[in-house]
Structure 1
Amino acid sequence: MDHLSRINNHITTINVTLNTEKHGTHELIVEASVHIPGHDLFAMVQTEKQLKPALDMLVSKLEKQLIKHKAKPKNAGRQHHINAKDVESPIERQLQAEFDELVEREVI
């Protein structure tokens, strides 16, 4: 789990849970949740009694999630550009002109 802190040094908590199921086959279930400010990441792996491969797969899943989260820009979504021009349709210009005329005549 120390490897995860090299990818993202803002990790506050990591919780790992180990469970076994004895329904026919003895499966090992490893779950982990990682908390970073603003996000909770979760991963789960099921294997047959092998702890080391299960932990390796779990860390690999969490690494992918951390890398994906780190790659996202902070202000994802639509952004206003400083040099953007306000584009009006001809109908909008006409309606605005009519409104301005009514304001000048003090009708509104």
Structure 2
Amino acid sequence: RAVREEAARVCGAPPASQRLLCRGREVGEHDVLDAGAPGGDVGDVYVTVVLRARGGKGGFGSLLRASGRKSEVSNKDSCRDLSGRRLRHVNAHRTLGEWERGREAREAREAAERAAQ
């Protein structure tokens, strides 16, 4: 109780909206914080104060799952591949590579057209 009141004084958050964590575990209202080290020496106790936040009714994933059942999308360019890249970028890179490979043939054709004129 004294720890919560001190945290309220320092942080300005009311005790009801605080979560106290000690060594990664939540400290209950009537828990005793042990300052003793395994060797018998008295050490410091570190307590983390976390503010409670109201939870929502669900994440963005549930919204996506619900909307995915409703509509059928034919354009998959905004999807991502397994490495995290957008498919439109992968397709654009592939198209640019194909265009670059055909450069010599285009230049030869343009040179032949200029020579014919």
TM over 0.5: no
TM score, norm. by length of structure 1: 0.29
Q: Which has the higher helix share?
A: 2
Compare the two structures and name the one with the higher strand fraction.
Answer: 1
Q: TM-score, normalised by structure 2?
A: 0.27
